[in-house]
Amino acid sequence: FEFLREMRKRPAFADVPVIVVTAKELTVEDVRILSGQTEQIIAKDEAYLTELAAAVRGRLARIPVREAEGITS
């Protein structure tokens, strides 16, 4: 959690999407904290790779082409 807090303090990283994959049993408080700082929380189980791939594809589909190609002007 500390890493995400520090990352979000830096303007260059404030809007970087984060998908958390965890094998830890999260408490309600953990989920509350992470939900405000992450795009998605994925539990590491038998199907997590499929869910992670879908989450990354979905996130990439929402990036404007100009941004994805690094075009700034």
| Structure confidence by residue, pLDDT tens digits, 13-63 | 988 899 999 999 999 999 988 888 898 999 999 999 999 999 999 988 887
Question: What does residue 65 show for φ and ψ, rounded to 5 degrees?
Answer: -55, -45
The per-residue pLDDT for 71 is 55
The per-residue pLDDT for 35 is 86
The per-residue pLDDT for 44 is 94
What is the rounded distance in angstroms from the CA atom of residue 48 to the CA atom of residue 52?
6
pLDDT at 73 over 80: no
DSSP at 11: G
pTM above 0.75, yes or no: no
